[in-house]
Amino acid sequence: MIYDFMRLILFFDLPVVSKEDRRIYATFRKYLIKNGYIMMQYSVYCKIFANREAAVKHVSILQRNVPQKGQIRILLVTEKQYAKIEIIVGGKSNQEQVVNSDAFIKL
């Protein structure tokens, strides 16, 4: 079986004005981390999937767990496209260096 690894990139901008807003923000961020997302930048997280079907299935699960206020956007790209990201300033985080398609065990 050939795997076409996919990356789901999630961008979010949630309100943090009130104490309740900050709690919702923190809860959503913890949900992302608990479910295997890694932080690329503030409010930009990504997760790798074995194939497009798994990524699309995850999107429907994700939609049931997002806050009602703010903006949340997703972008699905192939691992090949993701690997072409140019970093202008800074560098890859340790998580980004470790979590890639090489980390998957191919059976």
Handedness of CA 72, 63, 15, 48 (dihedral sign): negative
| Alpha-carbon gap, residue 7 to 52, rounded angstroms | 9
Give the number of other Cβ atoms within 10 Å of residue 16's Cβ.
13
**Residue 13 in marked binding region:** yes
Q: Which residues are annotated as a binding site for Mg(2+)?
A: 13
Q: Which residues are annotated as a binding site?
A: 13
